Amino acid sequence: MSKEKKLVEAITSRDEDFSQWYTDIVKKADLIDYSSVRGCTILRPHGYAIWELIQKNLDKRFKDTGHENVYMPMFIPESLLQKEKDHVEGFAPEVAWVTHGGEEKLTERLCVRPTSETLFCEHYANIIHSYRDLPKLYNQWCSVVRWEKTTRPFLRTLEFLWQEGHTAHATEEEAMEETIRMLNVYAEFCENVLAIPVIKGQKTEKEKFAGAKATYTIESLMHDGKALQTGTSHNFGDGFAKAFDIRYTDKNNQLQYVHQTSWGVSTRLIGALIMVHSDDNGLVLPPEVAPVQVMVIPVQQHREGVLERAEEIRSRLSKHIRVGLDDSDRMPGWKFSEHEMRGVPLRLELGPKDIEKNQCVIVRRDTREKQFISLDDVEQSIIKILEAMQKDMLRNAMELRVSKTYTAQSIEEIDEICNKNPGFIKAMWCGEQSCENKIKEETGATARCIPFEQENISDRCVCCGEPAKHMVIWGRAY
């Protein structure tokens, strides 16, 4: 079979060349195509369907926590972008500018939004007057543009789809609560829907968002041992409110600045799905975000009655789950490989022999475990298998992370781990940026986060030996 395999499309082995493997998956699972613009990709139906499922799931969680969707313009006047100093400086290098309308030069150039803080702030300043107007809990689904130097599908593209929540609150406490609430929403979503375990924590000063008071993050670990910032939630304090003059009158008729938050996740989540779960046979999707959860593949479909039975089963299943029927005139074996490549969680084979025995064959994408199940209660059996698969995938991803999480007592140790067995590295830190910089220079590892769940690895900073303030998760990151 291996000889034949070479004649057909094969993907690079994950262990041999992780980067190439990743690129192969995104292309061969039909997630994206490259466009004629550098760094911009086309999300094809299969890739976009995954995003739609992510959107649907998250959007419900946002609504359930009281948020409303809005849509802001994609252009930001230069003067508006410049109102918050740290914010402009953070984004200036990667902003795309519109200078002309038709043939006419604009009097003020417009920035293509790299993020919409300034737009929300301007709007909030206009609509918030009284404590009765608060809180404002807005979210928008949109695309943003950042002129990156190097790009990779899903992980870093010039334009990407995301969601950005922007809220305004009366008090510091409320803003802090909101920041953490949404971080928790993200974490719960990643674990239960994407089957990706995350570590919640705070970003260091060096790594925090431009203009934020504090940035919180969920960090996940990819199969190659590199870290991925999977989502962030920022507490802005009243910094933006002061820059944009967003004030309200409180119950005592006093003018107060609002306290704001913002939080976002992007199509990068799809990159995480690939790098956490997929294997040498292609994409592996957790059932919750699989556009097709079960693909029915008839065997000897030309035989009398086979297609009819297959269609009947598809129809029954479609009342409960997302199901497809591949009745193309490909060989069954070809279809098996194809739908494995595309990450369909379950395959249902149905041939004359099965029909005779009133059964079908079910094969799980993650384990490739094959089982025969009765057609009588096929719906219930499949729902159970999908549920089990969703849980198993999270458990496996968790086991992988545990097996790639280390502790270090010295910079040398961090460096050695990074080079030999990359992963999350727990080590103590004094809180000084000079030490953070030194660790990055010497090992390539950055501070992923200061986890909420602290452990005492030692009393001393891994770098300078001074008394330690925090345990930090270090790692090389995407």
Partner RNA sequence: CGGGGUGUGGCUCAGGUGGUAGAGCGCUUGGUUCGGGACCAAGAGGCCGGAAGUUCAAGUCUUCUCACUCCGACCA
329 binds RNA (CB under 7 A): yes
Token output for 390: 């969703």
In the complex with RNA, which residue's Cβ is closer, 249 or 381?
381
Q: Which residues of 325-343 are buried (b: 16+ CB within 10 A; e: fewer)?
A: bbbeeeeeeebbbbbbbbb
Token output for 103: 């043939």
19 binds RNA (CB under 7 A): yes
Closest approach, Cβ 342 to RNA, in A, equals 10
Q: Count of CB atoms within 10 A of residue 108's CB?
A: 9
Side chain identity, residue 7: L
Q: Which of helix, strand or coil describes residue 407?
A: strand
Closest approach, Cβ 384 to RNA, in A, equals 20
Binding segment for RNA among 58-66, 149-157, 178-186, 424-432 (CB under 7 A)? 149-157
231: which strand partners? 218
Tokens 């926590």, residue located? 65
User: Which of 58, 72, 110, 155 touches RNA (CB under 7 A)?
Assistant: 155
In the complex with RNA, which residue's Cβ is closer, 111 or 128?
111
Report the C-alpha dihedral over residues 15, 21, 22, 25, rounded to 10 degrees: -130
**Residues 218-247 within binding reach of RNA (CB under 7 A):** 229, 232
**Residues 375-434 within binding reach of RNA (CB under 7 A):** none
User: Which of 98, 331, 388, 402 touches RNA (CB under 7 A)?
Assistant: 331
Binding segment for RNA among 175-183, 294-302, 315-323, 402-410 (CB under 7 A)? 294-302
54 binds RNA (CB under 7 A): no
Binding segment for RNA among 38-46, 118-126, 173-181, 385-393 (CB under 7 A)? 38-46
Binding segment for RNA among 151-159, 245-253, 313-321, 405-413 (CB under 7 A)? 151-159
Could you give the CA distance from residue 474 to residue 250 in angstroms, rounded to a whole number? 43
User: Which of 73, 79, 312, 334 touches RNA (CB under 7 A)?
Assistant: 334
Q: Which of helix, strand or coil describes residue 266?
A: strand
469, 430 contact by CB (below 8 A): yes
Binding segment for RNA among 69-77, 283-291, 296-304, 399-407 (CB under 7 A)? 296-304
**Residues 433-472 within binding reach of RNA (CB under 7 A):** 444
Q: Count of CB atoms within 10 A of residue 252's CB?
A: 7
